[in-house]
Structure 1
């Protein structure tokens, strides 16, 4: 159960790293992103597709570029992350002795 969550968080981290690269270096292509991040081309391509489906980037002839929605998303990101962290903190079982009994 936790392994799946960890994989999802890793994938989200990759998507956000790819988005950050687009924001900072637009237009940027798959090969450059792959070389700079160390992610294989297919993982960068997948992240780009997810970001495009979310309308956060769009393709251009020179590479990926941000959209009008990107700024709004980035502005809301920290608050949403804080909410998720708070929710995860609330899910912790602080004391194993509570389970034992």
Structure 2
């Protein structure tokens, strides 16, 4: 169960890193992103596809570029992450010395 959560967090981190690269270097292509991040091309391509489906980036002839929605998403990101962290903190099971079997 936790393994899936860790994989999702890793994937979200990659998506956000790719988005940050687009914001800072637009237009930017898959090869440059892959070389700079160390992620394989197919993982960068997948992240770009996810970001495009969310309307956060769009393709251009020179590479990925941001959209009108990107700025709003980035502005809300810290609050949404803090909210999620709070939810995860509330899920902790504390004070249990042993779990009986």
* TM superposition score category, shorter chain reference: over 0.9
1:17-96 aligned within 5 A:
17-96=17-96
| RMSD over equivalenced CA pairs, Å | 1.0
Name the counterpart of 2:7.
7
Q: Distance in 2 between matches of 1:98 and 1:78?
A: 36
TM-score, length of structure 2 as denominator length: 0.96
TM-score, length of structure 1 as denominator length: 0.96
Q: Runs of at least 4 residues of structure 1 off by over 3 A?
A: none
Unaligned runs of 5+ in 1: none
Unaligned runs of 5+ in 2: none
Count of residue pairs the alignment pairs up: 100
Q: Distance in 1 between matches of 2:96 and 2:42?
A: 42
Range with bigger deviation, 75-84 or 88-97: 88-97
Aligned partner of residue 43 in structure 1, secondary structure: helix
